[in-house]
Chain A
Amino acid sequence: MEVFSKTTALALIFGCASLPPMAAQAEMADPNATVEYSGELSILTKFGMQRLQPYFIEMAKKYEALHPDVSISLIQEDDDSVKGKTKTLVASNSLPDIFFSWTGTWGGNFVRGDRAVDLSPVIGPDTDWGKTFAPAAVSAFMYNDKYYGIPLYLDAKFMGYSKPIFDELGIDVPKSHAELIEACKTIDAAGYLPVSFGNKEPWAGLHYLGQLLAYNVPQTVLEADYDPATATFDDPGYVAALNQFREFQDACTIGADVNAISYKTAIQQFSDGVSAMYYQEIIEFDSSAKPTTKLTPDDFGFFVLPPAEDAAGDHMALEGAPEGYMISSASENIPLAIDFMKFVTKPENARILSAPPFGQPPAVQGGADSENMNPSVVEGLDDIAEASYLIQWLDTVNHPRVASEWLSSFQAFVGGTKSAEDVVADVRTTAHSIRN
């Protein structure tokens, strides 16, 4: 049995907690600062996946070629590991010069602790650099009326589907929750798995719920409930959304067993043509359907998860958010760090990011290379633009303890050991315990 040794456990706590946690000092970017092109820049990215890793490596090489006295060191983590890595780096006061951040409470933590540089003078909507981005992407990183993040790409969740299976069974793209359930029944009867879904990593299931909550709970209520100080979690839309999910789970997936399936296995089932649908982020389009997989990019289609007709929330809302980077206030070379990110977000580099194999819809206006991009990603960008608002990921927008309660309770709900009412009650209790 491999052990998390006692000494390691205590050393982790010791290392991260006994030395400070030191208070950071607020920093504001100076638009007139002279950039000194020398020294080392460290960057924590969320491009740890093999397919995405080369992007920042290529950017670093290009930048180093332009400025030979600059060396760039990369720490590349994936979606799961970046969370733990970031907190460990914060706790040990070792945040790199540039680091990945989600929007919402996640990014707000860095602002609250003065860990991130206030970039308003350089990336605010009226600045030259700020005007190059989609305005909504920049404002997603706004906290206390200041701008702290550099959005790199836009992300949103869509239901990907196999056109050959839909064509074979004569199924049209579902426009409502009821039509989706009917489509699943038809697909299941034909011997295909309707939707491959893995909830071993419970955030995957929470992504379904986030979209359903946007459809069933008014935006103002949701936003009040994100803050434990004002949270009530008494809107009936919460239970309605959970019950819609239950209906979906029963008709479209393998049921409670999804808790044993990893999201990576689920996406593989879709790529292999085993399942007809897979709920995925737009940034995953290029990895779920490739020329080398059974489901090719030509076979791939997508649609927004359809709402129930009687849902009381916003039917035009879409789950997603831009993702981007912040500059550490402890960085010894803030102007250089900003300059590197200006380089990365140049339209020509954004076009590289948007094209296969990366397939990340850029936050930079004019950065999408529609000729080289996956057409589905281009279409997805249109849907994002048409959305009434973007509801953020529940596990990053909520207080960490509330997010943790959502994750474990929803997994219990999927496994059939908690009712919808119990899930909402437990989340409410957790939120209230934080407030008290």
Chain B
Amino acid sequence: MAWLNVHETSGASYAGSTPYSRYKHLAAMMLEWRWVLPAFIIVGWFVYYPIIENFRVSTTMQDIFTGEVENVGLENYTRLFSDKVVWSALRNNLLYAIISIVFQVFGAFIVAAIIEDLSSRKMRNFWRAVYFVPSAISTTVTGLLFYFIYQPDIGLLEEVMKILGLGAYAKAWLGDEDTAIYAIIGMSQWQGFGYSALLFTIAIQKIPKELYDAARMDGAGALRQLWSITLPMTREMTGMMIIVTITGAFQVFNEIMVMTGGGPNNSSQVLGTWLYEMGFTQNDMGYAAAIGSLIFVVTTMCGLAQLWYTKRKRVNT
């Protein structure tokens, strides 16, 4: 890399430490920075400044109509701990994350491995397409579709349950405080599963075939190959999918708004929808910003933990 060479060269000159060479070194450094400066400004302004500003707003109480701003210190954070809906929303986000990891990471991994093990190329393409199609539909459309599927009395799910003799267990899935969030999570798995499976398919395709050939020669069966070759060789993808899934679970919004609006009785609220409710329905921007900070902290911690884990377990071929 040319820029690196310049840097190293100028670094060596700098060791000579004449005022001229020091100036030259500084000029070279500035020349390097000019290429990255626009990106720094854009990322700084649009990503990091709002995050810092959000923390500032979270220490205020604002009335959007009158423009009054009152500094309240950490009061909004204290309120977070006594807000029952925040805890319920956090629990829903965690449920979303756990169930999504089971289905969209490990379930998708197994399905991808099975698809890639099919001998017919046509069948492989066919099943990839079958699983991927739901991911191509917008969340709003999917939400409306499942709203009708879950309808009491006339919904497709209830009809199927009746055919299977399970009609007694049918209920208003989206209208019941105990089931609303699970019904939404279920829809989300249907939609997100294919996308994850496709990513795992790509990761599996990158594994050298020789490893499988060698394993077969050593007498390893399909399960042993999955466990000893496919799983370790896709660990980075698995780690990344876990990060993406957990982060996504804490940012879920559209499907909740479309299917239940957070109800009934706030039972399907997640942190994102509660943030919106506080900021834009209840006119409480400071508290909404505090919820935003909570989302930020949780997702950042999850991200860092997963990055650390996957780095530690990296497998090189």
**Chain A positions near chain B (C-beta within 8 angstroms):** 1-7, 9-14, 16-18, 20-24, 83-84, 87-88, 90-91, 109-110, 112-115, 199-202, 254, 256-262, 265, 400-401, 404, 408-409, 411-412, 414-415, 417-418
Contact = CB atoms under 8 A, between A and B. Distances in A.
B62 interface: yes
B252 A9 contact: no
Contact of B176 (A10, A11, A260): A260
Chain B contact residues (Cβ within 8 angstroms of A): what range?
35 or more
A200 B295 contact: no
A259 B188 CA distance: 21
Name B's interface SS.
helix
Nearest to B152: A257
Interface in B62-79: 62-69
Contact of A113 (B49, B65, B285): B65
Given A259-B172, A260-B175, A12 B65 contact: no
Contacts of B289: 13, 17
Given A3-B252, A10-B292, A13-B292, A257 B279 contact: no
B175 A115 contact: no
Given A11-B50, A13-B57, A24-B67, A412 B279 contact: no
Contacts of A12: 276, 279
Contacts of A7: 46-47, 50
A259 B285 contact: no
A5 B260 CA distance: 20
Best-buried of A115, A199, A259 by chain B (most CB within 10 Å): A259
B177 A415 contact: yes
Contact of A256 (B54, B175, B191, B283): B175
B201 interface: no
B191 A14 contact: no
A200 B257 CA distance: 11
13 contacts: A3-B248, A3-B253, A11-B50, A13-B285, A14-B49, A14-B50, A17-B289, A84-B280, A200-B260, A259-B174, A261-B175, A400-B281, A400-B283
Nearest to B187: A1
Given A4-B272, A10-B292, A84-B280, A412 B177 contact: yes
Given A21-B63, A84-B281, A411-B264, A6 B295 contact: yes
A259 B286 contact: no
B282 interface: yes
Contact of A18 (B53, B248, B284, B288): B53
B306 interface: no
B110 interface: no
Given A21-B64, A256-B175, A4 B252 contact: yes
B21 interface: no
Interface string B243-264: 0010111011111000011011
B113 to A, nearest CB: 22
B65 A259 contact: no
B198 interface: no
A14 B54 contact: yes
B63 A10 contact: no
A427 to B, nearest CB: 13
Nearest to A11: B50
B109 interface: no
A23 B67 contact: yes
B313 interface: no
A401 B282 contact: yes
Contacts of B283: 87, 109, 400
Contacts of B191: 1
A149 B253 CA distance: 35
B13 interface: no
Contacts of A23: 66-68
B173 interface: yes
B248 A418 contact: no
A401 B287 CA distance: 13
A1 B57 contact: no
A13 B287 CA distance: 10
A22 B265 contact: no
B175 A404 contact: no
A88 B247 CA distance: 26
Given A9-B292, A400-B281, A260 B151 contact: yes
A415 B151 CA distance: 15
A28 to B, nearest CB: 18
Given A2-B139, A408-B263, A260 B152 contact: yes
B51 interface: yes
A415 B265 CA distance: 9
B281 A412 contact: no
B249 A1 contact: yes
Contacts of A265: 151
Count chain A CB atoms within 10 A of each CB in B63, B67, B68, B272 and give the residue with the most: B67
Nearest to A259: B175
Nearest to B66: A113
B263 A259 contact: yes
Nearest to B251: A3
B265 A200 contact: no
Contacts of B192: 1
Interface in B166-196: 171-177, 188, 191-192
Contacts of A417: 177, 265
A200 B261 contact: yes
Of the listed residues B65, B66, B249, B273, the one surrounded by the most CB atoms of chain A closer than 10 A to its CB is B65
Given A13-B50, A257-B153, 18 more contacts: A1-B100, A7-B47, A16-B285, A17-B285, A17-B286, A21-B67, A21-B69, A87-B281, A199-B175, A199-B264, A200-B175, A256-B176, A260-B152, A260-B174, A404-B281, A411-B263, A415-B175, A415-B177
Contact of B56 (A18, A83, A257, A261): A18
B188 A1 contact: yes
A68 B174 CA distance: 51
Nearest to A92: B64
B147 interface: yes
A202 B266 CA distance: 11
B251 A4 contact: yes
B275 interface: yes
Contacts of B151: 260-261, 265
A394 to B, nearest CB: 14
A11 B47 CA distance: 8
A257 B53 contact: no
Nearest to A9: B292
A182 B260 CA distance: 32
B153 A254 contact: yes
A414 B260 CA distance: 15
A7 B46 CA distance: 8
A5 B65 contact: no
